[in-house]
Amino acid sequence: MQSSNPVLTRGYAAMPGSDGVSRPVYQEPQTLEETYAAPAASGLHTGRMTMEDVVIRTSILFAVLIGVGGVAWSANLGGGIAMVGFLGAFVVGMINTFSQKVRPALAIAYAALEGLALGVISHVYETVYPGIISQAIIGTAAAFVGVLFLYRSGRVKVTPQFQRAMMGALIGYMVLGLVSMIAGAFGVGKGYGLYTGGIGLLLCVAGVGLASFFLIVDFDQIQKMINAGAPQEESWRAGFGLMVTVVWLYLEIVRLLSILRDR
């Protein structure tokens, strides 16, 4: 079963035995048991992705995002810069998502552009709602740790039914958001994320829940990539995919907190 995150789906498609177009052979002429035992016995790296690789690459990407975000926050840049950051991150993200080749430079560029946009947006929210960003960061970290615990403990299992339910909920979320934006454009309400009405609150709660559960799907797909012997460079793709979901979660939490403050 593939992840609903297209970034991790691309990584899965390149693995042996998947249904993707690319089929490089990562398995050496020996059993998987011997392969995974080899590093412990000889201290040599097999070139396959490990959880440590994913943690390191993900940490690098978030360090870039936080560093650039901190500079953007301090510089007190305008909304135009935030738009440039978001659009640039979208373009780079799409290229990285649908590229068959792993491109670490693009993943780092995405983190920098996203950090630029988030730094500006976060500063604006903090100016209007003092203390909201620290609350959002704590909330995002707590959600991440919570869903990781649920996945690792086996309390939530990623089954085909679970994934279909998530995709159905995501489609409903997107439709409701689109209707809200159109209504806002024609003066009916104030649009998604810009008012404190029931639809805005519902969208934000749904967004936080969806982003949290999609993290579980991402964790599961990363574990499957590791178990299947994906090459080490795929850890960049895994880190990038996690960042996409975490940024989504952070933005939804910020919006939710701002609506609750207004109410």
pLDDT in tens, 169-180: 878 777 777 766
Task: Delimit the domains of the chain by residue range.
Answer: 6-262
Distances (CA, A) of 167 to 3, 4, 210, 216: 10, 7, 9, 13
CA–CA distance, 239 with 210 (Å, rounded to integer): 19
203-236 pLDDT, tens digit each: 888 889 889 989 988 999 999 999 998 999 899 9
Give the HSE-up count for residue 105: Cα atoms under 13 Å, Cβ half-sphere.
1
Q: Look at residue 6 in the predicted model and tell me its pLDDT.
A: 56
Residue 102 binned pLDDT confidence (cut-offs 50, 70, 90) = confident
User: In what helix (H) or strand (E) does residue 115 lie, and over which residues does it extend?
Assistant: helix 104-128
Virtual torsion, Cα 57, 18, 226, 1, nearest 10 deg: 100
Q: Look at residue 180 in the predicted model and tell me its pLDDT.
A: 65
Q: Look at residue 79 in the predicted model and tell me its pLDDT.
A: 80
How far apart are the two ends of the chain, measured CA to CA in Å?
Answer: 42
106-151 pLDDT, tens digit each: 999 999 999 999 999 999 999 999 999 999 999 999 999 999 998 8
CA–CA distance, 242 with 222 (Å, rounded to integer): 9
55-76 pLDDT, tens digit each: 999 999 999 999 999 999 999 8
Instruction: Report the mean per-residue pLDDT for the chain.
Output: 79
Structural contact between residues 48 and 257, judged by C-beta atoms closer than 8 angstroms:
no
Q: For the chain, where are the E strands, in sequence order?
A: none
Q: Look at residue 41 in the predicted model and tell me its pLDDT.
A: 36
pLDDT at 28 over 70: no
Q: Which tokens belong to 78?
A: 């305008």
Sorted by sequence, the CB contacts under 8 Å of residue 113 that are 6+ apart come out as 85, 86, 88, 89, 92
Q: Which tokens belong to 157?
A: 């299992």
CA–CA distance, 33 with 43 (Å, rounded to integer): 16
- Which tops the pLDDT comparison, 161 or 251? 251
Region 234-245 average pLDDT: 93
